[in-house]
Amino acid sequence: MKKSAYLNIITICFLIFVSNSIQAQFESSILFHNSSNQLVYVSDTDGNHIPDYSYVGYKNGDEALPNVAAVKQISPVAGDNTAHIQAAIDEVEALALNVNGHRGARSKSLLLRKIEF
Tens of pLDDT, residues 59-106: 888 888 877 778 888 988 888 989 999 998 888 888 887 777 776 544
pLDDT of residue 107: 47
Q: How many domains does the chain have?
A: 2
Computed over its alpha carbons, how large is the radius of gyration of the chain? 28
**Cα distance between residue 85 and residue 112, in whole Å:** 8
3-state secondary structure of 102: coil
Residues 41 and 85 in one domain: no
- pLDDT score recorded for residue 99: 77
* Residue range 9-20, pLDDT digits in tens: 888 877 777 676
More reliable by pLDDT, 44 or 29: 44
Count CB-CB contacts under 10 A for residue 103: 19
CA–CA distance, 39 with 56 (Å, rounded to integer): 16
- Do 72 and 89 sit in the same domain of this protein? yes
φ and ψ of 92, to 5 deg: -70, -35
Do the beta carbons of residue 85 and residue 112 sit within 8 Å? yes
Identify the residue with better confidence: 21 or 27. 27
Residue 117 lies in a domain: no
Residue 103 pLDDT: 67
3-state SS, residue 69: strand
Q: Which domain holds residue 95?
A: 66-112
